[in-house]
Amino acid sequence: MQLQQIHTQPDPYAPFLLSQAIQLGNLVFVSGQAAVGDEGEIVGKGDFDRQAEQAFKNLDRVLQAAGSSLHHVAKVTIFLTSMDNFAKVVELRRKWFSAPYPADTIVEISGLYSPDAMIEIEAIALVPGAAS
């Protein structure tokens, strides 16, 4: 099996020398998706709701590029700069995922790659129809 790099255009991750996702067989491993817009800027500075929406949109976009979707996510890890937003994350999971809901870890951290970033989501998902 070979590693296959997954990316979208534009690829805001290219300057950081990392892949948006890597596919290995029928699994895709998605790097942390933050509230980054097409120009590489944080969307919704100081606004958790806007940042969370953008982060989930970015996650969905990368999964689609890999031939997967939010419906095929097996595991997510969600990094928050404040656990005060935990209840909002539960509502977002209800909006963006469906049963059976993915395994999930939510972690509060002191900071992300940018001081303006408030949320980052990484995931592991199935790629239906891909060779295992």
User: d(Cα 103, Cα 39) in Å, to the nearest integer?
Assistant: 31
pLDDT at 132 over 90: no
How many Cβ atoms sit within 10 Å of the Cβ of residue 52?
24
Listed in sequence order, the DSSP H helices in the chain are 48-65, 86-96
User: d(Cα 77, Cα 13) in Å, to the nearest integer?
Assistant: 19
Q: What is the pLDDT of residue 38?
A: 83
Q: What is the pLDDT of residue 13?
A: 75
Determine the angle formed by the axes of helices 86-96 and 48-65, rounding to 10 degrees.
40
Q: Strand, coil or helix: what is 104?
A: strand
Q: What is the pLDDT of residue 83?
A: 97
Over the stretch 17-53, which tens digit does the pLDDT of each residue have?
888 999 999 999 999 999 998 888 899 999 999 999 9
Q: What is the pLDDT of residue 10?
A: 80
| Among candidate residues 72, 70, 75, 74, the one with its CA nearest the CA of residue 55 | 70
The answer as to CATH 3.30.1330.40 being correct for domain 3-126 is yes
Over the stretch 82-121, which tens digit does the pLDDT of each residue have?
999 999 999 999 999 999 999 999 999 999 989 999 999 9
Burial bucket for residue 110 (CB in 10 Å: 0-12, 13-18, 19+): exposed
Q: Which two tokens stand for residue 82?
A: 């404040």
> Measured over all CA atoms, what is the biggest interatomic distance in the chain, rounded to whole angstroms?
42
pLDDT band at 9 (very low <50, low <70, confident <90, very high): confident
Q: What value does the mean pLDDT take over residues 61-75?
A: 96
Q: What is the pLDDT of residue 35?
A: 95
